[in-house]
Copies of this chain bind each other. A is one copy, B any other.
Amino acid sequence: MTAFPDLYRYFQKALDEHSIKGNPDSLYAPIQYFVNIGGKRIRPILVMMSTELFGSKASEGLNAALAIELFHNFSLIHDDIMDQAPLRRGQITIHEKHGLPTAILTGDATLVLAYQYFEKYTAEVAMDLLKVFNSTALGVCEGQQVDMDFESMKDISVAMYNEMIRKKTAILLGCAMQMGAIIAGASKEKQELAYEFGIQTGLAFQLQDDFLDAFASSDHSGKQVGGDIIANKKTFLWLRLKEKASKEDLALIMEWEQKKTFNSEEKVHFFTERMNHYGVKDESKALIEQYTQNAFESLNALSNSTEAKQPLFDLATQLLNRKH
């Protein structure tokens, strides 16, 4: 199976060649701009790795890979509006650059462009891809809505949080893996193991994101460390801390939650220190390890050779060990 860097280069090249052009330019240029901002391209590469794992060429997975990357970009464009984010990966967001109406419409068109890539497959394969893609797309919308609902909710359990990140993040990685398996003609049973690898990797990925937001050193991430804490964002770390905190600490936490003006460093320090104290930091690390282990077990359950699976093991390990 082809390794990550080679697939990354292959995908980037295809993305450049499939340049998104059309009329009017005021609709298509922002899409092209946003797609070119970059990103890890994990989802499309998972599609192609999965296509290869089940015996087809990576190139046969390319159109589904492009579809999933465009879907991911669609959801980022609309999420950035909802979050009122001025920047995405250090670049100005579409709604900041072109205004709200164009940003909404650009996102909509990007979603439709994603669906167009399924036309490149045979009717039978396209139908199977469409089914998993539709239910995933709906799940991602549901996850995003639940995440927004959390902002005004008081009692959020860790279980509810897990269900949210499952939908918002993990199922798209599951979908990527399953699409590759579909394209290569793998059995339903193998499709499910591939899907599960994606889900577990996705859960590990999101928890790691939240962990790094609180505990990475800022020179690695390029973002403000503790951004989630400053914004009272309900992450696993935050929710678990509230579950484990003493009455006294809970009172302090709720005091911090209410404060409109505060010293950011002081707030981040309070929370990270308490997360450490209550073992929530270690618990989060252990959970990330556990999800990664689960992902590996799904891979192990597949009869394919270990060598064929290596790039997927490598990718999951790399995601786990990243510093930003």
What are the residues of chain B within 8 A of A149 when measuring CB–CB?
24, 26
A119 interface residue (CB < 8 Å to B): yes
Tell which of A101-109, A199-207, A271-279 binds the partner: A101-109
- Residue with the greatest number of chain B CB neighbours at <10 A, chosen from A26, A82, A108, A109: A108
Least distance between A135 CB and chain B CB atoms (Å): 8
Size range of the chain A interface in the assembly: 35 or more
- Number of this chain's copies in the assembly equals 2
What are the residues of chain B within 8 A of A146 when measuring CB–CB?
24
A23 interface residue (CB < 8 Å to B): yes
With A104-B81, A104-B104, A142-B24 known to touch, is A119 a contact of B112 (CB < 8 Å)? no
Interface mask (A106-121 → B, CB under 8 Å = 1, otherwise 0): 0111011101101100
User: Among residues 1 to 30 in chain A, which have CB atoms less than 8 Å away from a CB atom of chain B?
Assistant: 22-24, 26-27
What are the residues of chain B within 8 A of A108 when measuring CB–CB?
74, 78, 107-108, 111, 141
Asked if residues B148 and A102 are in contact (CB atoms below 8 Å), the reply is yes
Chain B residue nearest in CB terms to A103:
B104
Least distance between A203 CB and chain B CB atoms (Å): 19
- Which of the residues B27, B82, B148 comes within 8 Å of A145, measured between beta carbons? B27
Asked if residues B101 and A141 are in contact (CB atoms below 8 Å), the reply is no
User: Among residues 128 to 149 in chain A, which have CB atoms less than 8 Å away from a CB atom of chain B?
Assistant: 130-131, 134-135, 137-138, 141-142, 144-146, 148-149
Least distance between A140 CB and chain B CB atoms (Å): 9
A156 interface residue (CB < 8 Å to B): no
- Which of the residues B104, B123, B142 comes within 8 Å of A124, measured between beta carbons? B123
Asked if residues B112 and A134 are in contact (CB atoms below 8 Å), the reply is yes
Asked if residues B101 and A116 are in contact (CB atoms below 8 Å), the reply is no
Inter-chain CA distance A269–B127, complex, in Å, is 55
A85 interface residue (CB < 8 Å to B): no
Q: Which 8 A-B pairs have the closest CB atoms?
A: A82-B101, A123-B123, A27-B145, A123-B127, A109-B141, A112-B137, A116-B134, A123-B124
18 extra interchain contacts, Cβ-Cβ under 8 A, other than A102-B145, A126-B127, A127-B127?
Answer: A24-B142, A27-B142, A74-B108, A78-B104, A78-B105, A78-B108, A81-B101, A81-B104, A105-B141, A108-B141, A109-B142, A112-B137, A112-B141, A113-B138, A116-B135, A123-B126, A126-B126, A126-B130
